[in-house]
């Protein structure tokens, strides 16, 4: 009879590495991943993948759905926390404060988290009637100018993956796909800014521009936003230039201090 020694169980470092590898697959990849796809990509058994996924689900790092697993609220919270520590907030603050003073409207900073957008900061309008945003809340990329300018400048494969999904209408003015949305994205790329009237929040107007990181990829956006009735054609035309210039200044500062 031959004595066989069982293979040793993975050590703590190896297990931690596998958990990290699983999470990293969701960063910038498809929204949903299944057990088989993860096991094939990482070269580990489906049983091991399943145990890791269940552990992550129990801690809300992932959540399970009919299409597989996707990042959960705890992972998104970590992403927001990390983005808040990026130099982009430091670079953006004085520019957004000045932009608020120049326009008299609220100015915002958004970051790309997974395939969604999160408000990272705002400088509120001094006016009595104004728009304010909920910092830390997630929004889809297709609804509103702050998300659309990010979506427009994403790498093609990632952008197409977003457009291939069912897109929810947040208001009766939300553009949810088809030629109309693609036309708006193309115009955003041409102009370098996006304009929205009630697409994410009814009766709100906004003008936004993308922010590019030291790696040259889009990582967020800034916007001027306020009550729709104050976003006249003349005001919007003025804001286009101001917001575009402000975004370019923030990007330069962020890149220079990476």
Sign of torsion over alpha carbons 75, 73, 161, 201: negative
Please report where in the chains the tokens 């070269």 appear, as a residue.
43
- Asked whether residue 254 carries a pLDDT value surpassing 60, the answer given is yes
pLDDT band at 48 (very low <50, low <70, confident <90, very high): very high
What pLDDT does 12 receive?
Answer: 56
Describe the crossing of helices 233-256 and 87-103 by its angle, rounded to 10 degrees. Answer: 160
What average pLDDT does this structure show over 128-146? 88
Q: Per the structure block, which two tokens stand in for 171? A: 């208001």
What 8-state DSSP symbol labels residue 132?
-
- Asked whether residue 107 carries a pLDDT value surpassing 50, the answer given is yes
Q: Which of 226, 199, 218 lies closest to 144 in space, CA to CA? A: 199
> Ranked by mean pLDDT, which of 19-23, 152-156, 212-216 comes out on top?
152-156
CA distances 146 to 21, 207, 247, Å, are 31, 8, 12
- Asked whether residue 140 carries a pLDDT value surpassing 80, the answer given is yes
- The CATH classification of domain 14-71, taken from the options 3.30.360.10, 3.30.930.10, 1.10.10.10, 1.10.3720.10: 1.10.10.10
Please state the CATH superfamily assignment of the domain spanning residues 85-257 in this structure.
Answer: GAF domain (3.30.450.40)
Please report where in the chains the tokens 């939300």 appear, as a residue.
174
Residue spans in the chain of domains classed CATH 3.30.450.40? 85-257
- Asked whether residue 209 carries a pLDDT value surpassing 90, the answer given is yes
- Asked whether residue 222 carries a pLDDT value surpassing 90, the answer given is yes
What pLDDT does 5 receive?
Answer: 41
Q: Which of 165, 124, 171 lies closest to 144 in space, CA to CA? A: 171
Average per-residue pLDDT for the chain = 86
What pLDDT does 80 receive?
Answer: 61
**Cα distance between residue 127 and residue 106, in whole Å:** 9
pLDDT band at 9 (very low <50, low <70, confident <90, very high): very low
What pLDDT does 248 receive?
Answer: 93
**Cα distance between residue 181 and residue 187, in whole Å:** 10
pLDDT band at 10 (very low <50, low <70, confident <90, very high): low
């Amino acid at each position: 009879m031959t004595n066989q020694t069982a293979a040793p169980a993975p050590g703590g470092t190896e297990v931690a590495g596998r958990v990290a590898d699983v999470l990293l697959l969701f960063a910038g990849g498809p929204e949903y991943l299944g057990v088989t796809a993860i096991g094939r990509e990482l070269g580990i058994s489906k049983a091991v993948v399943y145990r890791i996924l269940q552990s992550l689900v129990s801690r809300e790092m992932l959540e399970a759905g009919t299409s597989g697993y996707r990042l959960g609220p705890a992972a998104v919270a970590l992403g927001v926390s990390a983005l808040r520590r990026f130099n982009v907030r430091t670079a953006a603050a004085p520019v957004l404060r000045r932009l608020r003073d120049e326009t008299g409207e609220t100015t915002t900073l958004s970051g790309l988290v997974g395939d969604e957008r999160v408000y990272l900061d705002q400088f509120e309008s001094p006016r009595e009637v104004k728009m304010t945003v909920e910092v830390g809340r997630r929004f889809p990329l297709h609804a509103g100018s702050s998300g659309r300018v990010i979506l427009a400048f994403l790498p093609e494969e990632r952008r197409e993956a977003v457009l291939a999904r069912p897109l929810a209408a947040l208001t009766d003015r939300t553009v949810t796909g088809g030629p109309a949305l693609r036309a708006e994205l193309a115009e955003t790329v041409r102009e370098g800014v996006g304009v929205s009237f009630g697409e994410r929040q009814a009766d709100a107007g906004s003008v936004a521009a993308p922010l590019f990181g030291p790696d040259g990829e889009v990582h967020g956006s800034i916007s001027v936003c306020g009550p729709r009735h104050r976003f006249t054609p003349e005001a919007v035309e003025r804001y286009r230039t101001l917001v575009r210039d402000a975004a370019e200044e923030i990007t330069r500062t962020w890149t220079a201090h990476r």
